[in-house]
Amino acid sequence: MRSVDFINEKWSAKYKKSINCSNPKGFSQKAHCQGRKKKKTNENAESFITKALKNAGYEFIGSGYDAQVWMKDEGTVVKILMPKEDNSAHETFKTFYEISKNSDSPNLPKFKKVDGSEVFNFTIKGKPFVQYGIEQLYPLSSGSLDEWVVWMMADLASNQVDWTKAKQLMIKDNDKHAIEFANQNTRKMKEYHILYNTLRKLHKIGRNKGYGWDPHTENIMQRNNGTLVITDPWA
């Protein structure tokens, strides 16, 4: 941890508020004011996007640390990557986009054109943003078999366990879903097999590039027909 971070953690909210950023005293106060200015700039940019999209009739779907998701129309959403200190999300998602475009896996998303383009790069006050048009997907049901499968497969794929062994380990797991999983028909097992192979491939690519592994149940969703779709595997 940097010393400035440590000092800031010890500062009270009252003290932080009392700092005069027009005339900061010492290195620590200067660093704090720079961080405050950067945060304000990002907040202003995000507020500008939110206002513009609402005025254009978009519906807000949700947000995470790195992105906002908006509904453009039925069947199409836009994912907007927000600028962060290192913009690693921009790099990882660009890689994911390129892999998805060149893959025939049913478990990777379909990208769609929004106003003539699948990917749109823009800046606000010098800050980089990237917009992707993506097919509309739906969250997994809490406590469902698919949710359990995602957690299990994500862990096993990170260890590059082959499908036969992975399936055996899942069946042997001490969980009510293990029995349900073992009783799936051949067609569903084939779908799970394809998903697992896709996860293994993505983990291997991400590891080689130094990306963190992040296929939690908000980063794997489903189509109306029940197909599981990986939306963002790396942190």
Residue 232 is predicted with a pLDDT of: 96
Residue 99 — very low, low, confident or very high, per pLDDT cuts 50/70/90? Answer: very high
Greater model confidence, 3 or 12: 12
Strands 59-63 and 67-73: antiparallel
Residue 4 — very low, low, confident or very high, per pLDDT cuts 50/70/90? Answer: very low
Closest CA to 95 of 6, 198, 202: 202
**3-10 and 26-55 helices cross at what angle (nearest 10)?**
80
Greater model confidence, 86 or 159: 159
- What's at 184, amino acid-wise? Q
Residue 48 is predicted with a pLDDT of: 83
pLDDT in tens, 189-217: 999 999 999 999 999 999 999 999 999 88
Rounded to an integer, what distance in angstroms lies between the CA atom of residue 211 and that of residue 94? 12
Rounded to an integer, what distance in angstroms lies between the CA atom of residue 180 and that of residue 173? 11
pLDDT in tens, 121-176: 999 878 899 999 999 999 999 999 999 999 999 999 999 999 999 999 999 999 99
Mean pLDDT computed over every residue of the chain = 89
Rounded to an integer, what distance in angstroms lies between the CA atom of residue 50 and that of residue 64? 14
Greater model confidence, 229 or 21: 229
Q: How far is CA 113 from the centre of its chain?
A: 20
Which residue ranges make up each domain of the chain? 1-57, 59-135, 145-230
Residue 113 is predicted with a pLDDT of: 95
Over 70: is that where the pLDDT of 3 sits?
no
Residue 7 — very low, low, confident or very high, per pLDDT cuts 50/70/90? Answer: very low
pLDDT in tens, 16-73: 777 888 877 777 777 777 777 666 656 667 788 888 888 889 999 998 888 999 998 8
- Contact between 146 and 225 under an 8 Å Cβ cutoff? The reply is no
Residue 217 is predicted with a pLDDT of: 87
Over 60: is that where the pLDDT of 6 sits?
no
Residue with tokens 């660093």: 31
Reading the block at residue 13, the tokens are 């909210």
Residue with tokens 């129309």: 73
Domain 59-135: CATH class, spelled out = alpha beta
